[in-house]
Structure 1
Amino acid sequence: MEKLVHNFYRLLMLLSCMSMLAAFGAVVLGVLTREVVHMNIPGLDAYAGYSIAAALFFALPGTLQNGDHIRVTLVLERLPERIRSGFEWFCLLAALGLTLYMAQYAVRSVWISYITHDVSASADATPLWIPQISMALGCIGFALAFAHALILRLQGKTFMAVSESARSE
């Protein structure tokens, strides 16, 4: 099961990379068509925005696992071990609850956009459920990552790596 979860994190990170490339491509194409061809492709800016948002949400679980999320350790380092452990448990449980709510909200938003045929207000008129899928998948992966972290914590293992920037401070 652990291998399946890690592969899901990798898949989301790959999709994040592809989304960043798509955003880059949309921006470059927009600049080239406006400056060189003197033509404007409607909706291209919206697609760049969708791609950037997708990259952000897809990367949530992988960056959590790699220790790249901002964590406030200033307080944790000064707490006694027993209190620190309880505080970390509380933080993981609170994060799991919050991310489950986010995932539920994101999935519900996709469904509502789909059944109401909601489209983008920009020139592209994209059905909004399509770009919202990335938000839902990323939030589901994020909630799964916190559940995974809790399970590993119960087993006495660690889930989150310490990032290079945190290690050097």
Structure 2
Amino acid sequence: MQAAGSVVRRTLDRLYFGSGVIAALFLIAILSLVVLQMLARWTGNVFPGAADYAGYCMAAASFFAFAHALNRGAHIRVSLILQFAGRYRRLIEIWCFAIGTGLGWYLAYYAWKGAYWSWKLHDISQGQDATPIWIPQIAMVVGAILFAIALTDHLVNLILFGEHRIDAEVVEDHE
């Protein structure tokens, strides 16, 4: 049983790390698009839709970074309240993670639903690129699902083992 748990743990940790790598690749894509757009302007050419593609990459980078950032302690937490919670700290953390998990799955569901309806209705972007809008929405769906999985992971760990798996408490490190 423990071997299966360690396989799941390693798989989830790799998944969260991979989502951070994908987010970084989207940031590199934004840089590349901006440089290409600058080069196009300097040479008198037009790069239609470059700003739209950069926006899609920014959204993708943000959503793919959510799960990785949560595990690294980069999300804002209620550390001030938790600092004075005393013996109720674990209960408050469970409550916070439960609400976060519920909201995470709510976001994932509606992100999927929005992308599905964009695909079904053949919705395209308003910009010059006329991209089918469900294509960039896929990154939002996958990122939201990964974030919801990460929140669920922390909630389950907190309930079963008494602690979440957030690596660094950024706010608490500066006390």
Settle same-fold status: TM greater than 0.5: yes
The runs of 4+ residues in structure 1 deviating greater than 6 Å are none
Map of 1:124 onto structure 2:
129
Aligned positions, number? 167
**Structure 2 Cα separation of the partners of residues 166 and 18 of structure 1:** 30
Unpaired runs of 5+ in structure 2? 1-7
Matched, 1:140 2:145: yes
TM-score between both structures, scaled by the size of structure 1: 0.93
SS at match of 1:145: helix
Q: CA deviation at 1:150?
A: 1.3
**Structure 1 Cα separation of the partners of residues 164 and 101 of structure 2:** 16
Q: 2:98 aligns with which of 93, 115, 119?
A: 93
**Structure 2 Cα separation of the partners of residues 40 and 163 of structure 1:** 46
TM-score between both structures, scaled by the size of structure 2: 0.90
- Is 2:63–2:143's contact at 8 Å kept on the other side of the alignment? yes
Unpaired runs of 5+ in structure 1? none
Residues 11-67 of structure 1, C-alpha deviations (whole Å, 9 max, x = no match): 211110110000111111111211x21222110000011101100000000110011
Letter in 2 for 1:71: R
Q: 1:26 to 1:156 in 2, by over 3 A?
A: same
Q: 2:67 aligns with which of 52, 61, 69?
A: 61
Q: CA deviation at 1:168?
A: 2.2
Map of 1:102 onto structure 2:
107
**Structure 2 Cα separation of the partners of residues 18 and 123 of structure 1:** 24
Map of 1:78 onto structure 2:
84
Q: 1:15 aligns with which of 9, 19, 22?
A: 22
Q: CA deviation at 1:163?
A: 4.1
